[in-house]
Amino acid sequence: MKSLAELVILVQKDDEEAFSQIVNSFKPLLIKESCRNGSFDEDCYQECMIRLYLALKKIDITE
């Protein structure tokens, strides 16, 4: 398994599998933050996914 830094670099090169691996690693947190009033909010989850993707694209990782 690749390190988080390696996966981020791959995401920045548009590797969908790397993004999927990161999402799977952070899925419990994404689900937790997507719960509103005690229930899962799909729209909030999608927004979290978009924000995660955009944040990963902006991270400056020096190799």
HEC per residue, the chain: CCCHHHHHHHHHCCCHHHHHHHHHHHHHHHHHHCEECCEECHHHHHHHHHHHHHHHHHCCCCC
C-alpha closest to that of 13 among 59, 51, 45? 59
- Dig out the tokens for 38 from the structure: 């005690």
* Residue whose structure tokens are 């690693």: 25
What is the average pLDDT across 42-55?
96
Question: What's the pLDDT at 1?
Answer: 77
- Give percent above pLDDT 90 in the chain: 87
Q: Can you give the pTM of this predicted structure?
A: 0.86
